[in-house]
Amino acid sequence: MKKILDFGNRLCVWMDNIGGSILVIMMMLTVVDIALRIFGRPITGTYELVALAGAMVVSFAVPQTTQENGHIGVDLLIQVLSPKTRNILFVITKIMGAVLCGCVAWYLYRKGNHLLEQGDVSHTLQIPAYPGAYVLAFCFAVESLVLLLQVFRQPVPGTDNE
């Protein structure tokens, strides 16, 4: 189990680094585009590229954020429950989240297949749309894995053995 948890940790860090790199590239593209607009030479398709990059940045960052318990949580009602009830609720919500993310990953994978078959491309730069769907499917699959692994990781947040 430790090897699987370590693999999940390394995968999340790797994805987070990719998301950060995409964010830097996105910022540089925006700055260069703004600077070139001063001279009447904007970069064609910047809006498309920044929109695609924004989706990638968020998708690559979500598993690491989950790994670090960095999401906003309202545990006002959870605090009044017993540790055993908190543990049960923790496991149920993580499994439900994993199933939901798994379903979204499966849908995005199928959407990628559909976009590939249809030959859909972006309007300005004619970038194929299917790789974006596949990348998002991968990110949601990893998020599903991270949520499942949190069930087996100790300590459980919100308990006395934290």
Using alpha carbons only, what angle is made at residue 17 by residues 29 and 109, rounded to the nearest 5 degrees?
85
d(CA 94, CA 117): 34
Q: At what angle do helices 2-38 and 46-67 cross, to 10 degrees?
A: 150
Model confidence at 133, pLDDT cuts 50, 70, 90, reads: very high
pLDDT(158) > 90? no
The single-letter code of the amino acid at 4 is: I
Helices (H), the chain: 2-38, 46-67, 83-118, 130-152
- Residues 142, 121: Cα–Cα separation, whole Å: 26
pLDDT (tens digit, 9 = 90+) per residue, 105-119? 999 999 999 999 999
Q: Whole-structure pTM over 0.75, yes or no?
A: yes
pLDDT beyond 60 at 156:
no
Task: Phi first, then psi: give them for residue 125, nearest 5 degrees.
Answer: -95, -10
Question: Which residues does residue 121 pair with via DSSP β-bridges, in sequence order?
Answer: 128
Q: Hey, what's the torsion of the CAs at 62, 9, 17, 139, to 10 degrees?
A: -40
* Residue count of the chain: 162
pLDDT digits (tens, 9 = 90+) for 47-82: 999 999 999 999 999 999 998 888 777 677 788 888
